[in-house]
């Protein structure tokens, strides 16, 4: 997995991230908890270290 540095902090994250907003709210009813846990684990296994958990506006 390629990595990128964020801003001046030199925090290094995966070039590909996972948007998490629709997992628990916003896009219809909350998704199945066990399915979302499996999704997060699969992402980590593939080297994803950037998870976008910011609230939408």
Confidence (pTM): 0.80
Neighbours of 1 (CB within 10 A): 11
Indicate the average pLDDT of the chain. 90
* Contacting residues for 12 by C-beta, under 8 A, at least 6 apart: 3, 4, 5, 6, 49
Residue 6 host element (H or E): strand 3-6
Q: How many helices, marked H, and strands, marked E, lie in the chain?
A: 1, 4
Torsion of CA 29, 35, 37, 40, to 10 degrees: -100
Q: Per residue of the chain (57 residues), what is the pLDDT tens digit?
A: 999 998 898 899 999 999 998 888 777 888 899 999 999 999 999 999 999 988 765
């Amino acid at each position: 997995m390629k990595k990128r540095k964020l801003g001046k902090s030199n925090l290094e994250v995966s070039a590909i991230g996972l948007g998490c907003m629709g997992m628990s709210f916003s896009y219809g009813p909350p998704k199945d908890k066990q399915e979302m846990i499996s999704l997060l684990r699969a992402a980590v296994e593939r080297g994803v270290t950037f998870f976008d958990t910011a609230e939408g506006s």
